[in-house]
Every structure is written in structure tokens, then in C-alpha cells.
Amino acid sequence: MKIDNKTLEGMAHLSRLNLDQKDVEELKKDMSEILDWVEKLDEVDTEGVAPLTTMSHEINAVREDKTKPHLSHEKALKNAPKKDSDYFRVPKVLD
Amino acid sequence: MDQEIIDKYQLVVGLEVHAQLLTQTKIFNSDENEYGALPNTNVGVITLGHPGTMPLLNENVMGQAVKMGLACSCSISEYNIFDRKNYFYPDLPKGYQITQDRTPICVGGRVVIYKKNGEEHAIQLNRIHVEEDAGKSIHLDGEADTLVDFNRAGVPLIEIVSEPDIRSSEEAHAFLMEVRKLVRYLDVCDGNMEEGSMRCDANISVMLKGAKEYGKKVEVKNMNSLKNVQRAIDHEFLRQVEALENGETIISETRTFNAQDGTTSGMRAKEELNDYRYFPDPDLSPFIVTEDWLNTIKANMPALPRELYNKYMTDYRLPAYDAQVLTESKEMAFYFEAVCAHTKNFKAASNIIMGPVKSYLNEHNLSITNLSIQPEQIAEIIALVDGNKLSFSVASQKLFPAMLEKPNQKAETLAEALHLLHDGDVASIETAVDAVLAEFPDKVAQYQKGKKGLLGMFMGQVKKKTQGKADPKITNELLIKKLG
């Protein structure tokens, strides 16, 4: 499958990546190759086979509605690149 | 705009209602589901989307969603998987929201509302599915950063999606009232729109009356009260009609409601590529609804407002208005039910609850669950009135307030102690009757000349003289006898 400029731009937007124009051709080529490789799977006849949604054979893995100890407030914020005593701080995202 | 022009158009609305479920814990982990906690205190590694963590489904979430589904006559899906809805936003630490795209737990169904004339009208549902809430972003003026609180991230939600079946803002209001009543009866959500535990988005379009195809729909968000939903719909209807009349085309977009001036404005269309790339979440195993599990939920369903409404109308023969007021809240309805377990005079029970009880509660801003008087004591009051020992007005104006002060006493004991009971003593009533007749000789003369309507006035005077205690039947007989 050929990746065109529009698809590449769309994916860059969804991934919040700024593409360098000099990388565009190479990225298109790499991604097209990846998709070609995955397309190999199309050769398998999946007629009548339900899609696999999980690798586990378990069903109804559920838990009781009871609280358990979790991270403290301090620990929760510990790895944040930017924070104050209460909140995670991120670049302004208001529209 | 000319009403004639407006009347050419038909409003079409579909609503999406998000309701936060009243569980102890979040949907996929054991952090507290708690409103109003200090920021970022109910957050564990799964909530924060730390690498290598795995979600585990809270069974109670599925149970609550099914309860709502059964109350709305939905069909319940046997096979459930969960999907990832992918998008970037700082309040969504994993980069995706876990939701049900392919296999909503409840399919179809309806919410029945009442039109002004009392007729039932069913609004069809598309689905009810479960999903997780996102965190809360706080944008403060003059602050360079956005602040994020993840307490709400992972709080379980049901999303109730109606078909584009709503034709006026009043219908939208009635639909939301009914949904709120249902979630409260079922104890699945507290239905508080101001606090955001119940939220509503509206898909609004207009079309020429009789048109086959719906117009382009606009999604309106950020309406945090029932009234604002109605205002937003009214505004959006006129805005779209005006645009069409001016030859403009309506674009599918998301608009936000401004509560100050009641208008809507377009949010920047930065998400042109709204491609959520849904796919099944491989971390969660399928949830299969078994017959046993479903039957247990069915067996524990509480009485629903519409069932009670119909029962009060049909079995108890109450007016529609009474049935409506009594079923407005579960607490009110259940209290009324409890009173009716002790009396068969349903109308009297309704009168006391809708009269003195309700005005007392309103005045003191209380819920009926705080009422110090027990349902059986209300039944005692009714028995006194029915037994002709007390008038309804004395019961509600004197006995009821007295019982609020002394909730541990029997109604009759208290009424007696306060000398409220009708005096059946003929001699003392006769004294009062004689006194009244002596006081109004001219009226007596008029009565005897044929102005029989004056009897009521004499009754009133005797009642006044005896502080409402004179037995009305004896008073009536004595008056007629003495007036000749």
C-alpha cells in the first residue's frame, strides 16, 4: 500500500509530530514498506473467523468494587516534568 | 425573524447524556471514585497510565449500566468488549479512552416522557454504553500553564445516546428530567448537572417541515443545567434557521454554549481529522452477561417512577397532578408508599404529603428522609380526620407542627393533650351555638326568612368560638334545630 502525502500529514497530526520536509520521502517509503509487509496477512483466508480481541482466553475477569491503597499524592506527582503542590502542569491547551 | 419563516422549519435534536456512576471505585482500578477530593489524591498507576499497568473491570459498573438499560427497556448485550478511542489531550494520560464502540452493553430502548396534555411519548434510544471519564483540565486566567487533576480520570460513566427523536427544547428538557429521575431512582448516579456528575451534549439540526433528510448537525457542549440545555437548543434552532434563510450552509462542528448571553460559538476546528482509530483493547477480556447474573439484577430492580405513577393513577385513583408530584423523587414516592401501607385513604395521604409536609420541607430546605414524623404517624393523623375527630385544616395547621416538635408521641395522644380533638359534648356545643345565635339576631331573622345559605356562616362562628373543636356534625344538627 502506497502512503501518500495526505496520509502522512494526517498521521503526523494525530501523533502531534512536526515533520521535517526533508524526511517526508523517506518516511513515505518506509511506511509503505511496512504496510506491504503486513499485507502479507491478507493471504490468509479469515472467512467466518471472529476477530481476536484479546490474547487471553479468560472471560469475565472482573474485580469487586472495593478501594485499595494506591500512590500517595506526592508519589503520583513525583515524575511529572512540571507540577505544583496540587496539580500536574502542562502547556496551555485552551482553544 | 418572522414567526412565519420560523414555522417553516422543524427542529431535530439527539442528546448524549454522560452519567457518573455511584461506585466506590473507578471503572478499571481500585482508586476511590469520590467527588470533591483534593486534587490528584485518588490517583494510582493505572489512572495515571503508567507503562506496564493493566486495567481490571469493576463488575459493579456493568451491573449499574444494566440496571439503567432494563429501566429503559433496552436489550442487554450478552457479549461485551472494550475499545480504545485514541486522541491526544493532557487530561487523558494513556492517550486513549476506554469505551464501548462495537458492543454497547445496552442497545435500543426508550425513555418515556409526558406531554403537556399528560399523554405518554417515547423517545427512542440508540444505546447505553460504559466508558471511563477523563481528568479535569483547569485553565486559569493569567496562568501560563493548564493545570490537570486526574481524580476524575477513570471514573465510570454510562453514556445514554438518544436517537434524533426530539422535536422541541421542551421535549429535550422533559427527556433529561426523566433520565435524571431514573438514574436517581436506580441509585446509579446522583444526577447533579451543576457538579458535572450528569452532563449533556446536544446534536442539533433543522430541516424544512416535511423534508425527508435531516439537516447538517451541530454538536453543542458545555451546558451545565437543564435550563441551559433548553436555552442552547432554542438559540441554536434560531441561529441555524437564520443562516439557512440567508443562504448560508450549516457546517458540522462543535459549538460551546455561553451561559451569560445564551448564545453558542464555534470551537476552533483544530480537530479536522477527528480520527479516533477505535480498536478493541487487548488488555481487557470480554465480559459475558450470564443469565444468572442478569436475573439477579432484574430481581433487585426498585420500583420505577413510571410504574408508581401508573399505580397511583389506576389503583389509588389519584389525579395526574398528585401522581406526578409524588413520584418526582424516589424519597417522596417511597415515603408515600410507606404511609399507604398504614391507610387506605390514599387521597388523604397525598393531600397531607403534598400540603403541610411538602411546604414544611420546602420552607426548611429539607428532604423527606429528614422528616422526624414517621409514615405511620401520618396514617394516624388521617385516621383521626377520617374518624371525624379532627378537621383537615386543624390537622395540618396545628397537629402536624406539634408533631414535628414531639415526634415520639402518638397523633391522638398529642391532639388530645393540645385539646385539638372535636368536642362531642352536646352541652358545651349547645352553649356555643346559643351564644352565636344571640350575637347575630339579624342574621337569624334573615335565615328564618329563607336565606338558608347563612348556615355556613353560623357553622363558622361556632367553629371559631370553640377553636375548631366543636364536632361539625353535632353543630350542624343543633343549629338546624334551633334555627327552626
pLDDT at A94 (0 to 100): 63
The confidence score (pLDDT) of residue B386 equals 87
CA distance B296 to B18: 25
B47 vs A contacts (CB less than 8 Å): 70
Predicted local confidence at residue B49, as pLDDT: 95
Spatial CA neighbour of A3 closest among A35, A25, A28:
A28
CA A43, A44, A50, A55 dihedral sign is negative
Distance CA(B439)–CA(B416), nearest Å, equals 29
Collapsed DSSP state (helix, strand, coil) of residue B232? helix
Ramachandran sector of residue B424 (left: φ over 0; alpha: ψ -120 to 50; beta: rest)? alpha
Query: Can you list the residues of chain B whose pLDDT is less than 50?
Result: 270
- Cell 429503559 belongs to residue: B72
The distance between the two most distant Cα atoms of chain A, rounded to a whole number of Å, is 57
Which residue type does B79 have?
Y
- Shortest Cα–Cα distance, A62 to chain B (Å): 5
Check A93 against B146: CB less than 8 A apart.
yes
Question: Which residues of chain A are under the pLDDT cut of 50?
Answer: none
Q: Contact, B470 vs B429, CB < 8 A?
A: yes
- DSSP H or E segment with residue B137: strand B136-139
Looking at residue B269, its pLDDT comes to 59
CB proximity under 8 Å: A 12-51 to B: 13-14, 16, 51
Instruction: Say which residues have a Cβ less than 8 Å from residue B300's Cβ, sequence separation at least 6.
Output: none
User: Model confidence over B211-244: pLDDT tens digits?
Assistant: 999 999 999 998 999 999 999 999 999 999 999 9
A81 touches chain B (CB under 8 A): no
CB contact under 8 A, A67 and B30: yes
State the pLDDT at residue B438: 87
Q: How far apart are CA B251 and CA B235, in angstroms?
A: 16
B139 with B146: CB under 8 angstroms? yes
Give dist(CA B125, CA B106) in Å, integer. 10
Residues of B in contact with A55 (CB under 8 A): 282
CB B24, CB B264: distance < 8 Å: no
Q: Are B95 and B140 in contact (CB under 8 A)?
A: no
What confidence score (pLDDT) does residue B273 get? 53
Query: Which residue's C-alpha cell is 451534549?
Result: B201
* pLDDT (tens digit per residue) in B288-302: 999 999 999 999 999
| Residues in A touching B44 (Cβ below 8 Å) | 70-71, 76
- Minimal Cα distance from A17: which residue of B? B88
- What pLDDT score does B409 carry? 86
Residues in Cβ contact with B358 at an 8 Å cutoff, skipping those fewer than 6 apart: B325
B146–A89 C-beta distance less than 8 A? yes
Shortest distance between the Cα of B408 and any Cα of chain A, in A, equals 39
- Of the candidates A64, A66, A95, the beta carbon closest to that of B268 is on A95
Residues 6+ apart with CB under 8 A from B141: none
CB contact under 8 A, B280 and A54: yes
Interatomic CA distance for residues B462 and B248, integer angstroms: 76
**What is the SS3 assignment for B24?**
coil
Which of left, alpha, beta for B265 (phi over 0: left; psi -120 to 50: alpha)? beta
Cα B342 to chain centroid distance, Å, stands at: 26
Taking Cα atoms as reference points, which of B39, B114, B130 lies closest to residue B77?
Answer: B130
Q: Answer whether A90 touches B (CB < 8 Å).
A: yes
Q: Does residue B345 contact residue B377 with C-beta atoms inside 8 Å? A: no
**ipTM of the complex in this document:** 0.89
Alpha-helical runs (H) found in B7-122 = 59-71
* Cβ within 8 Å, pair B48-A10: no
pLDDT (0 to 100) of residue B464: 84
Nearest to A71 among B32, B44, B57 (CB): B44
The shortest C-alpha distance from B160 to chain A (Å) reads: 22
Strand ranges inside chain A, DSSP E: 62-63, 88-91
Q: Classify the C-alpha dihedral B79-B281-B155-B276 as positive or negative.
A: negative
Cβ partners under 8 Å of residue B147, min gap 6: A84, A86, A87, A88, A89, B39, B137, B138, B139, B140
Could you write out the DSSP letters of every residue in B374-397? Answer: -HHHHHHHHHHHHTTSS-HHHIII
* Spatial contact of B135 and B151, defined as CB atoms under 8 Å apart: yes
Task: Give me the residues of A, 49-78, that contact B with CB < 8 A.
Answer: 51, 53-56, 58-68, 70-71, 73, 76-77
Name residue, grid cell 361539625. B472
**Parallel, antiparallel or unpaired: strands B75-76 and A62-63:** unpaired
Q: To the nearest whole angstrom, how far is the Cα of A78 from the nearest Cα of chain B?
A: 12
- What pLDDT, on the 0 to 100 scale, is given for residue B40? 98
B118 three-state secondary structure: coil
Tell me the residue length of chain A: 95
Q: Which of A13, A61, A68 sits opposite B285 (nearest CB)?
A: A61
- Per the rule left: phi > 0, alpha: psi between -120 and 50, beta: everything else, A60 is left
Please state the domain extents for chain A: 5-43
Taking CB atoms and an 8 Å cutoff, what residues of chain B touch A67? 24-25, 30-32
Per-state percent for chain A, helix, strand, coil, to nearest 5: 40, 5, 50
Instruction: Answer for the pair A30, B102: CB distance below 8 angstroms, yes or no.
Output: no
For cell 472471560, name the residue.
A59
Q: Which three cell numbers stand for residue B483?
A: 334555627
Q: Which residues of A touch B146 (CB under 8 A)?
A: 89-94
